[in-house]
Every structure is written in C-alpha cells, then in structure tokens.
Chain A
C-alpha cells in the first residue's frame, strides 16, 4: 500500500540551529515528492519538490530537502531556523506509475522554533 510517514509529531529547535523534519514514503514506481507548510489559520503553501535529477533540492524560505532512494526518505532541512519557521509541515508523494495521480499526505509535523 502506498503511504507517507512523518515519524515525529513535533520537532523543537532553538533559533539559529539547523532543523530537520523527517519523511519516509512507500509507493510503487518512482515517486514525485513534495513538502508543504501550513501556518496557523492559513492554507497550505508549496515549499519544494523532487521530480528527478539532483537528490538535493532547494525551495522557498531557505529550505532544502534530500531525496534518498535507498532509504525511501525525503527529509526537509534548513541550516539555521527562524522563529517564523514555526508551523505545520506536510510531506506528500505522488506516484508516477499507473493511473494513480493522487497526492498521498503525511499526518504533518509541528515545528516549534524557540527564540
């Protein structure tokens, strides 16, 4: 069965420290991978995506993510966290194979950046 897992419900990090939000996936075929962020009372905003090519992708607001096929992971990273990065982060995957073009969403990880 296709699935996305975000193993941490919450991540706490001090401002200025590096942050990592984890995501692992299980899909048939090669995946398209996405990260979205949701600020309080706001809709989801696209951060970045991996389609093909370089395993390290860069996105909005200084975020980047590393695709690791052997570990089926797509962890979100930022070298230096800001208080304003505090939000809910969702990993999603879309299966390129077959006719299933839905986005499969993780349950989200709440990131708290402490000043």
Chain B
C-alpha cells in the first residue's frame, strides 16, 4: 500500500511570506496529524483531524497557522506570515482509528521549511 505523501519536500521562503504544505494520508486512514519537528527535538503535534473534523489543535499557533482537511482525505497546512522560528520539518502522519489509542501512526517524508 502507498504511504503518506507530502509535498513539497523542501521550501525556502523569506520571513513574512506565506507557505502551504500538502499531505495525502494512507487510503482509509481516518485520522491525520500535522507535526512540527525542530532540529534536535522530538515532533510537536500541531493539529489532529478525525475525518474532516479537528480533534486537537491546542498547540497550533492560530494567529499564523491554519489547516484544513476537506472531504476527510487530503490536508493542507498553511503559515501566514512565516517567522524565522518556523524553520523546521513539518511531518504529516495518519492512523486508522483515533479512539483505539494503541494504533501506531504512519509518517510521510516531511517538508523541510527554511525561513530566511
């Protein structure tokens, strides 16, 4: 089965510019996650979707970050405007069930964002 797809793989922008990332989860996976991974740190959950509804966005900086998952499949994460501290790898992951907390998450390759 195909894995989690993300694009672009790399992006370089200047501060105050906007950027969008795209994620296509594994087919049939109802739960989708966006993480931010800063160099030298573990992943930080930004937002979690169950189908097209938001389950958890408590760590999403809502003044500049937004995400949507139309039709409960693909998702986009947007940053507007970007700050230098947003430089990180943005990881998308999906899993089968959100109530069964034992189910592991499957990750995409990530998008490496550099803000200059």
Residues of A within 8 A of B (CB): 4, 32, 34, 36, 41-46, 49, 51, 90, 92, 94, 96, 101-103, 105-108
Contacts and interface: CB of A to CB of B under 8 A. Distances in A.
18 contacts: A32-B101, A41-B109, A43-B4, A43-B93, A43-B108, A44-B105, A44-B107, A45-B107, A46-B104, A46-B105, A46-B106, A49-B102, A90-B43, A94-B102, A96-B101, A101-B98, A108-B41, A108-B42
Contact of B40 (A42, A90, A107): A107
Nearest to B3: A43
Interface in B38-61: 40-45, 56
Interface of A is mostly: strand
Contact of A103 (B45, B109, B112): B45
Interface of B is mostly: loop
Interface residues of B, number: 22
B110 interface: yes
